[in-house]
């Protein structure tokens, strides 16, 4: 038969264990809530980042549409290579072209600085100029106007769908994926 002291000791141990179980449940709920908060913040920041790239792509597409609507083409000849020096990249060249619009000759810098030069002196190419301002010109290249928006917008939407799927699953479970823990 158990003594009164043993019974009291057993009750004390039992109450002690119940107290730890309650604390453990509270800590588990708090951890789950913090995990959900963390996942929600990561999802929001990730979507803002991806949305910014989508907007950049949309802006590039809008610029492409404006060139398509307000642009006219003209043959141009590369008359000079403009040399520039970059501290990091060294010597680079930009093409200067001449083209004619309504009997008036214009000269403009086209293309990105590169080495070697993108075009050679004497080379003929087609430029796209704005109808209302023939001095604003760019090389008439479908790929330069449309490749960036056609790649960036769908890829950012796909990444956003994947991010949101993974974040939603983690949020529902209240668990931070292992990949997010290694920061």
Interval 32-73: pLDDT, tens:
888 888 888 999 999 999 999 999 999 999 999 999 888 999
Q: What is the pLDDT of residue 181?
A: 55
Domain containing 80 — which CATH number?
2.40.50
Q: Do 129 and 160 have their domain in common?
A: no
How far apart, in whole angstroms, are the C-alpha atoms of residue 77 and residue 121? 8
Bigger pLDDT: 116 or 153? 153
Domain encompassing residue 53: 4-64+147-181
Q: What is the pLDDT of residue 99?
A: 95
Q: Do 31 and 59 have their domain in common?
A: yes
Q: 178: pLDDT confidence band, cut at 50, 70 and 90?
A: low
Q: How many CB atoms lie within 10 A of CB 128?
A: 21
Q: What is the pLDDT of residue 157?
A: 96
Of 13-27, 82-96, 129-143, 152-166, give the range with the top mean pLDDT. Answer: 152-166
- The position carrying tokens 């039992």 is 14
Q: 163: pLDDT confidence band, cut at 50, 70 and 90?
A: very high
Secondary structure class of 4 (helix, strand, coil)? helix
Q: State residue 122 phi and psi, 5-degree precision.
A: 95, -15
Q: Do 103 and 59 have their domain in common?
A: no
Q: Do 47 and 16 have their domain in common?
A: yes
**Average pLDDT for the chain:** 87
Q: Do 38 and 81 have their domain in common?
A: no
Q: How many CB atoms lie within 10 A of CB 113?
A: 18
How far apart, in whole angstroms, are the C-alpha atoms of residue 128 and residue 138? 5
The pairing of beta strand 124-130 with beta strand 90-101: unpaired
Question: pLDDT (tens digit, 9 = 90+) per residue, 90-112?
Answer: 889 899 999 999 999 999 999 88
Q: What angle do CA 8, 12, 18 make, to 5 degrees?
A: 145
Q: Do 135 and 81 have their domain in common?
A: yes
Q: Do 60 and 77 have their domain in common?
A: no
- The position carrying tokens 């760019």 is 138
- The pTM for the full model equals 0.70
C-alpha neighbours within 13 Å on the C-beta side of residue 128: 17
What's the domain count of the chain? Answer: 2
- The position carrying tokens 């009291």 is 8
Of 3-7, 33-37, 54-58, 168-172, give the range with the top mean pLDDT. Answer: 54-58
Tokens of 147: 């490749």
The answer on pLDDT for 179 being more than 70 is no
Q: Do 56 and 77 have their domain in common?
A: no
The answer on pLDDT for 166 being more than 70 is yes
Instruction: Render 71-140 in DSSP notation, one character per residue.
Output: EEEEEEEEEEEEEEEETTTEEEEEEEEEEEETTEEEEEEEEEEESS-SS-TT-EEEEEEETTEEEEEEE-
- The position carrying tokens 């023939």 is 134
The answer on pLDDT for 114 being more than 60 is yes
């Amino acid at each position: 038969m158990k003594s009164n002291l043993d019974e009291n000791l057993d009750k004390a141990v039992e109450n002690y264990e119940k107290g730890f179980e309650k604390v453990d449940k509270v800590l588990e709920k708090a951890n789950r809530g913090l995990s959900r908060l963390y996942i929600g913040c990561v999802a929001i920041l990730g979507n803002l980042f991806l949305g910014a790239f989508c907007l950049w792509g949309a802006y590039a597409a809008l610029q492409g549409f404006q060139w398509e609507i307000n642009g006219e083409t003209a043959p141009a000849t590369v008359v000079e290579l403009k040399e520039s020096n970059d501290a990091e990249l060294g010597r680079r060249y930009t093409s200067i072209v001449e083209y004619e619009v309504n009997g008036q000759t214009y000269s403009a810098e086209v293309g990105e600085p590169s080495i070697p030069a993108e075009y050679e002196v004497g080379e003929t190419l087609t430029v796209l100029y704005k109808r209302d301002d023939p001095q604003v010109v760019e090389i008439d290249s479908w790929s330069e106007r449309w490749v960036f928006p056609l790649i960036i917008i769908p890829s950012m939407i796909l990444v956003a769908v994947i991010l949101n799927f993974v974040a939603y699953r983690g949020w529902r479970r209240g668990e931070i994926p292992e990949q997010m823990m290694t920061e």
